[in-house]
Structure 1
Amino acid sequence: MELDRQLSERARTIGAELAAGGDLGPALRIARELSPVAVDLGDDSQRYLSTLASLAHGDLTVARVVEPHLDAQAILAQAETDLSPLPGEEGVWGVYAAHAPGHHLAGTAEADGIWTLTGRKPWCSLARELSHAVITAHTGPSTTRAFALSLDHPGVSYPDDKWVSRGLSRVRSTSLELDGVPAVPVGGDGWYLSRPGFAWGGIGVAAAWWGAAAALRDTLHSAAGRREPDQIALSHLGHADVLVHAAGTALDDAAQRIDAGEGTGQEGAVLAARVRAACADVAERLLTVVGHALGPGPLTGDEEHARRAADLTVYVRQHHAERDLARLGSMIREESLPDEAGG
């Protein structure tokens, strides 16, 4: 996986401005600027993944703003959705597909063919800052569908949910309350989860984890250049490099498989689960390796490093650790593996 160092530096500059109290405007602008990258997913997936990795290498808040926008653009393109009924659809988008106890969002087809959404949706990151979203809603007792909607509609409100996170502190997640908000269907019932791009979007998030891990590796490399490292320091650097290289290779392989048409159905689900697990593992292990190598100094005296460590700790929790590994184990349980003797 190759990093675009110029794009990384742009994200780093924007992140520093945000940390100094700046607004999210520059991050939202770079999201709109990068919208054309969304169509590369499934065609030139290497570019799509490296874009997200490069942004995360520079700053994770910037990457966290851009990633769902690109995911939404890819979803809408794949569904060939006509957005003309929505005002200002060229804005910055989010994707809200989480479910939680006590939250239920229902989609209702009206007599004139228009759909409306009513209810509550959890974990809607940056909803107050964005213009539109792809959101999933229940259309029946056991069916869901994706919809596109404008977040500027008067039927959209924001409960006062707590957000005390020290990591990704500027990417506030809240619930959404919708009351008769008009929406455009994106695919049919069940399409959102069954489409090939569902797995690909999850790999995009993994690319962001990997980009931040690569930045932690680079922090170790820089520290080794400031004074003569001992054997322990060199061991930490070597360990970090092996981990980053291995996960980067997994991302490269995923991009090639997606573009070759091998990332669909069950094959795509297994591919995404493997790559996400590999990138989550390298992110968590790099946080530990760098902590052991550099001690508390950078966490207490280097604002950029401390922010990256806090941001990555929160971001990587989108991987559900042992539960996601168990899900992967369930998927491969019935797969036939190569014969150890015959290859």
Structure 2
Amino acid sequence: MTHAVREGFSVAELRVALSRLDRADTPATWLGQLVHQGMDQLPMPGRGATLQRWQALCAVAEHNLSLAKLYEGHTDALAVMVELAPSATLVAGATWGLWAAEAPDGRAVVEVTGSGGAQLNGAKRWCSGAGQLSHGLLTAWWPDGRGPQLVRVDMHGPGVGTSHTGWHAVGMAASASGDVAFDGAVVECVGADGAYLERHGFWHGGAGIAACWHGGAVALALALKRALLQAPCASHNAFRLAALGKVGVALQSTAALLRETARWIDEYPTADASAMALRVRLAAEGSARLVLDEVGRALGAAPFCRDADFAQMAADLPVFVRQSHAERDFAALGERLVSPGGPSWAL
């Protein structure tokens, strides 16, 4: 069954659009083309169609993870602005980055100017698409330490400089992640001080990342399935079949949890979704790691060396899932589970 993302836009149509992207272009160019086609207009999370939103994220991730990184950030930025500044005017055709990571060696500081506007100084690290996207939505801090304050900025405006010298990973290199330096850049505040973290959609967006990780893992699992279909009588297929069985259990479990989480968010859109988001993110990370290991063991070195798409996905996925906070997230989930009235886990 094809699930509609919005009127006139289905996941099947999105997959067709993805298949038509020119492989020679960059993920930022691909994002611009999807935006031009209106395929960035996903349902808002928590309004009855969260699963359809995540199906789109999964489909893009299955195609290319660097594109998924930019597409997820862009669509999340649009959702944040609808939530915090619904009356704000957006530039038609703009491509947005959402940058909220806080690095110890970089901080963006926002100040009110004499004319009543705002300007930004300092640095922002880990900005996917920096230098290639048209606009940025990022967390900044006031000079007295209050924050985070969400601001939006024209990336082509004065006082904005980008650098990619700090990125050395092969995986996710095409996401063009880098550092942005601000020197009196004109910005517009979005929402109140602290509103970015306090809004209901914060954890909804965090959970959506799991759909991207899941999509990357699905792409690798499908490579194993294709290998089995192409060589049904190979003597080593018993080992590959066992690997596919393990992969199938992991991915089906994660898919079921993604569907359950999406349904819960739609049923309780204003409830604390932190435990649900942490759970599905950790599950998706775990299944992605299992898929990477099992598919690699089953197929050997050949696809890593001779299949460009497989090799890229296998390099990108480990880097992308490190957006998870690993044991810190497990501890954060444990804190929520130990509270009175937590889940019993019984059927």
Same fold (TM over 0.5): yes
CA contact (8 A) 1:31 1:70 kept: no
Question: Does 1:313 pair with 2:318?
Answer: yes
CA contact (8 A) 2:166 2:179 kept: no
1:181 is matched with which residue: 185, 190, 203? 185
Report the Cα offset of residue 24 of structure 1.
3.8
Tell me the residue number matched to 1:25: 29
Question: Does 1:147 pair with 2:154?
Answer: no
Give the letter for the 1:48 counterpart.
Answer: R
Higher mean Cα deviation, 47-56 or 108-117? 108-117
What do residues 69-103 of structure 1 show as CA deviations (whole Å, max 9, x unaligned)?
0000000011134444x7x4641000011111121
1:195 is matched with which residue: 196, 199, 210? 199
Give the letter for the 1:108 counterpart.
Answer: E
3-state SS of 1:300 partner: helix
What do residues 157-215 of structure 1 show as CA deviations (whole Å, max 9, x unaligned)?
12452322211221121111112222222111111011111111112211011011111
CA contact (8 A) 2:27 2:174 kept: no
Report the Cα offset of residue 56 of structure 1.
0.9
Question: Does 1:222 pair with 2:226?
Answer: yes
3-state SS of 2:24 partner: helix
Give the letter for the 2:259 counterpart.
Answer: D
Paired with 2:145 and 2:66, the residues of 1 have a C-alpha distance of 37
Question: Does 1:336 pair with 2:341?
Answer: yes
Q: Aligned residue pairs: how many?
A: 335
Give ranges in structure 1 of 5+ residues lacking alignment: none
Paired with 1:99 and 1:210, the residues of 2 have a C-alpha distance of 25
CA contact (8 A) 1:31 1:66 kept: no
Percent identity reads 30
Report the Cα offset of residue 223 of structure 1.
1.0
Given the superposition, is the C-alpha separation of residues 264 and 161 from structure 1 closer, same or farther in structure 2, using an over 3 Å criterion? farther
2:113 is matched with which residue: 107, 110, 134? 110
Pairwise mapping of residues 11-22 of structure 1 onto structure 2 (< 5 A)? 11-12=18-19, 14=21, 16-18=23-25
Paired with 1:194 and 1:338, the residues of 2 have a C-alpha distance of 24
Give the letter for the 1:130 counterpart.
Answer: L
Report the Cα offset of residue 13 of structure 1.
5.0
Tell me the residue number matched to 2:7: none
Question: Does 1:76 pair with 2:86?
Answer: no
Report the Cα offset of residue 105 of structure 1.
1.2
3-state SS of 1:39 partner: coil
RMSD of aligned alpha carbons:
2.4
1:322 is matched with which residue: 298, 318, 327? 327
Give ranges in structure 2 of 5+ residues lacking alignment: 4-10
What do residues 94-129 of structure 1 show as CA deviations (whole Å, max 9, x unaligned)?
001111112121111234331211111111111101
3-state SS of 2:148 partner: strand
Given the superposition, is the C-alpha separation of residues 262 and 77 from structure 1 closer, same or farther in structure 2, using an over 3 Å criterion? closer
Give the letter for the 2:336 counterpart.
Answer: M
Given the superposition, is the C-alpha separation of residues 116 and 264 from structure 1 closer, same or farther in structure 2, using an over 3 Å criterion? farther
The TM-score, its normalising length taken from structure 1, stands at 0.90
Question: Does 1:248 pair with 2:255?
Answer: yes
Question: Does 1:95 pair with 2:127?
Answer: no
CA contact (8 A) 1:15 1:62 kept: no
3-state SS of 1:106 partner: strand
Report the Cα offset of residue 62 of structure 1.
1.9
* Aligned structure 1 segments of 4 or more residues deviating by more than 6 angstroms: none
